[in-house]
Amino acid sequence: MKNLSFSKVMLWVGLIFLYAPMLILVIYSFNDSKLVTVWGGFSPKWYGELFQDQQILNAVWTSLRIAFYSSTMAVIIGTMAAFVMTRFRRSWAKLTLSNMITAPLVMPEVITGLSLLLLFVQMSETFGWPTERGMFTVWIAHSTFCAAYVAVVVSSRLRELDLSIEEAAMDLGATRLKTFFLITIPMIAPSLIAGWLLSFSLSLDDLVIASFTSGPGSTTLPMVVFSSVRLGVSPKINALATIIILAVSLVAFLSWYFARRAEKKAKIAME
């Protein structure tokens, strides 16, 4: 029992460690003083300034668009890869695919970013395309690394799926394609949504890979934040950070909610 209480204390210490810094950030975003460490009274003025900063607003719009297209592509590629990993017979091709799809999970970002940039440069040297780096190249880079996360989420759902329902559909005369769209997709839908949302927040958050692969006209939000943060702490960034924390928490919570619903559905189906 002594062991148990020690671990419980550590759990609370750990949770405080995880949340305190973000809480402090949120509190200081309402600080009236320009000196970020001195409390000068409550004021929401930094939020007002934030919404007048055209550079930040442009970057938000760029980031949102990239995240939307990347997570959509990541779900398509990741789901296909998850199918191969859970439903296909062991083969050399399957082995190499599963190695390639999960590699971005742990690959240091500087390596992924550098290698993709060099690919794009080489491609434009050899084929004259892509003519310049921008949203399109960031989209390719983000789709690739987000697909890894989608593959993990979707494959764990596919593995639990009861094959007999799909078999029943095919026995009743549905083609494989029809079975896939009418039976399999609805059954794994919550995990597809969870994967999409996870990809969306990962893409929105990425600094390193976007810095390597983006061009002059496609500065993303993390790039703007980073160049400002490098110079030190600023109250405007605190306000922006508070909004980001709230927005991403909401997306993360939704993603968690859908993943849980998927689990519950799976449990009901098993009973």
Partner 1 sequence: MKNPLKIFKGRHLTMGIPYLWLLLFFALPFAIVLKLSFSTAAIAIPPYEPTFNYVDEALNIFVNLGNYLLLLQDSMYYMAYLTSLKMAFVATLGCLVLGFPMAYAIARAPVKMQAVLLLLVMLPSWTSFLIRVYAWMGILSNNGLINNALTWLGVISEPIQMLNTNFAVYIGIIYAYLPFMILPLYATLVKLDLSLLEAASDLGSSSINTFWKITLPLSMGGVIAGSMLVFIPAVGEFVIPELLGGPDSLMIGKVLWQEFFNNRDWPVASSLAIVMLALLIIPITLFHRYQSRSMESDV
| Residue 42 bridge partners (DSSP) | 31
Q: In the window 92-151, what residues touch partner 1 (CB under 8 A)? A: 93-94, 96-111, 114-116, 118-119, 121-122, 125, 140-141, 143-144, 147, 151
Burial 226-237 (b: 16+ CB within 10 A, else e): eebeeeeeebbb
| Residue 31 bridge partners (DSSP) | 42
State how far the Cα of 235 lies from the Cα of 246, in Å rounded to an integer.
17
Please tell me whether residue 32 binds partner 1 under the rule CB under 8 A: no
Q: Are 130 and 214 in contact (CB under 8 A)?
A: no
Segments in the chain forming alpha helices (H) = 2-28, 45-50, 54-87, 92-102, 109-127, 135-160, 163-171, 176-179, 185-205, 208-213, 221-229, 235-270
Distance of closest approach, residue 189 Cβ to partner 1, in angstroms: 18
Distance of closest approach, residue 18 Cβ to partner 1, in angstroms: 5
Please tell me whether residue 239 binds partner 1 under the rule CB under 8 A: no
Please tell me whether residue 189 binds partner 1 under the rule CB under 8 A: no
- Residue 221 makes CB contacts below 8 A (sequence gap 6+) with 56, 59, 60, 62, 63, 204
Of 45-53, 127-135, 185-193, 243-251, the segment contacting partner 1 by CB under 8 A is 243-251
Return the residue of 53, 130, 134, 241 that touches partner 1, per CB under 8 A.
241
SS3 at position 42: strand
Of 43-51, 52-60, 185-193, 246-254, the segment contacting partner 1 by CB under 8 A is 246-254
93 or 165: whose CB is closer to partner 1?
A: 93
Distance of closest approach, residue 40 Cβ to partner 1, in angstroms: 14
The binding track of 33-52 with respect to partner 1, each residue x by CB under 8 A or -, is ---xx---------------
Distance of closest approach, residue 51 Cβ to partner 1, in angstroms: 18
Of 53-61, 64-72, 152-160, 184-192, the segment contacting partner 1 by CB under 8 A is 152-160
State how far the Cα of 104 lies from the Cα of 141, in Å rounded to an integer.
11
Q: Which of 14, 12, 27, 15 is nearest to 245 (CA)?
A: 27
Distance of closest approach, residue 172 Cβ to partner 1, in angstroms: 13
Q: In the window 157-186, what residues touch partner 1 (CB under 8 A)? A: 159, 175-177
Please tell me whether residue 84 binds partner 1 under the rule CB under 8 A: yes
